[in-house]
Structure 1
Amino acid sequence: MRITTKGQVTIPQDVRDFAGFQPGTEVEFLIGDDGVVRVVAAGGGVAERDQRLGAAIAGLRGSADTGLSTDEIMALTRE
């Protein structure tokens, strides 16, 4: 991998997937006491995203009340 004259580098897809980086993800560069440079998602990264997703799902739970029983819904899906 090379850094361009503009200081840009392409993060490999497998690394982006592992880190949870999506287009538009804000990142920070951290320099550890050990001299290692780390790239992390600003604001917590994957753990924070998972926490927000869990909260969103919990907020939606029970919001699709159709007035039908589970058996009635299952019957509709089998038709």
Structure 2
Amino acid sequence: MRVIVAGASGALGRVLVPELVRSGHEVIGLTRTAEGAARVRSAGGSLWSPTSWIATACCAPQQASGRMRSSTSSRRC
């Protein structure tokens, strides 16, 4: 499953990204700094680029900086 993680290099994202990668998911991280970007890449994730990825095409967007409500969409991946 393709998963976007906002806050991918933060306190929760540091744990979440490698776990998702180990579970076989394609992880796309959003981060604010070059150091954070390096951390996401070293965990096996890639970085979000508005020219190459469309957030709405993801099956499971994750907000690692806070709680996210589940979607009411019936779309399955």
Q: With structure 1 as the length reference, what TM-score do the two structures score?
A: 0.22
Q: With structure 2 as the length reference, what TM-score do the two structures score?
A: 0.22
Query: Larger Cα Rg: Structure 1 or Structure 2?
Result: 1
More strand by share: 2
Which protein has greater RCO, CA pairs closer than 8 Å, 6+ apart?
2
